[in-house]
Amino acid sequence: MRVLVTGGAGYIGSHTVVQLVAAGHDVVVVDSFANSKPTVVPRLEALIGGPLEVHAFDLTDRDKTESLFAERQFDAVIHFAGLKAVGESVEVPLEYYQNNLDSTFALVRAMQRHGCFRLVFSSSATVYGDNAPVPYQEDYEPLSAASPYGRSKVMIEQVLRDVASAGGQWRIAVLRYFNPVGAHPSGTIGEDPQGTPNNLMPFIAQVAVGAREELYVFGDDYPTPDGTAQRDYIHVEDLAAGHVAALHRIAHQEPGLRAWNLGTGHGTSVLEMIRAFEHASGRTVPYTVVGRRAGDLAAYWADATRAHEELGWSATRTVDDMCADTWRWQSSNPEGYPD
């Protein structure tokens, strides 16, 4: 298939591009580089062994999005493009709603106009909100989220559901990611957060490499075995493989929309993650326990059964693999991608 990957220069998109090409697909990327750097492109070209077609523009620009579809024929789209920092979304909610919703509107309209009806959308476990029973199951309702970022995902899921229900030929896969971590085993591509990382794994990696002094552990009084919060960390290479599997599935499924969790089905605590990273890196990760972070839940993980049964996909990489691959990327690129 010829697949348009929006946000293909970003963390998850870049890893997925490599696996799509390896699976025999013809890949075209569109990215505004709002949260990524063009220097990822030559690294991707080295991994895929050839040139990568990249269009640098903002999908919220409807004319440009329309022009791309007018020029090129696509069999499917994987839509990663979006802003994703929870804290920032609280400060500038309009930017988040506008970017995430308008880019999706422009894309879906252009797809409809040009007869491309296969779409894979990046959603998040955050749409399960505060009250869903653990493990999270796809049919849980009502979806809700605690931040403008999360609510933009809930809204887009709803828009896509309505578009699919309106009839026609839409085949839409909504993939709800748990906590993506890790890097390509080559160590040449990985997660490159701009500024202070919000997420646990890149923060630990920056402490281990010496770029930051210590990690703050947000709370050790949760009702969990060691008191720190548990999440379902999933290797980005497993996540990428989940997209290839979803793409194959929607090529054959009946028209409509279906959601799948992409997680391992297991929770890992903050302290377990620190210990695993110390083991993988051979470095000590100094930390101090501080108060809980507002909005954090104690523990959740995926019910990964549906993806296993329907996509033939399961996560295979361990927490030790996630730490080893993150360390290879971080230690060989302590400052991330070059400017």
By CB under 6 A, is residue 84 in contact with ligand NAD?
A: yes
Residue of minimal CB distance from ligand UDP?
229
Among 20, 31, 132, 242, binds ligand NAD (CB under 6 A): 31
**Catalytic: which of 11, 96, 149, 222?**
149
> Of ligand UDP, ligand NAD, none, which one does residue 81 interact with (CB within 5 to 8 Å by kind)?
ligand NAD
By CB under 6 A, is residue 33 in contact with ligand NAD?
A: yes
Q: What residues have CB less than 8 Å from 62, skipping those under 6 apart?
A: 106, 109, 110
Torsion (CA) 2, 115, 248, 20 in degrees, nearest 10? 20
By CB under 6 A, is residue 329 in contact with ligand NAD?
A: no
Among 138, 218, 227, 285, binds ligand UDP (CB under 6 A): 218
Looking at residue 26, its amino acid is D
By CB under 6 A, is residue 325 in contact with ligand NAD?
A: no
By CB under 6 A, is residue 99 in contact with ligand NAD?
A: yes
> Of ligand NAD, ligand UDP, none, which one does residue 132 interact with (CB within 5 to 8 Å by kind)?
none
Active-site residue flag, 149: yes
Minimum CB separation of residue 192 from ligand NAD in Å reads: 8
Write the interaction track for ligand NAD spanning residues 11-30; mark x where CB under 6 A is met and - where it is not.
xxx----------------x
Residues of this chain that bind ligand UDP (CB under 6 A): 179, 198-200, 203, 215-218, 229, 231, 270, 293, 296
Active site residues: 149
Interface residues with ligand NAD (CB under 6 A) are 7, 9-13, 30-36, 58-60, 80-84, 99, 103, 122, 124, 177, 180
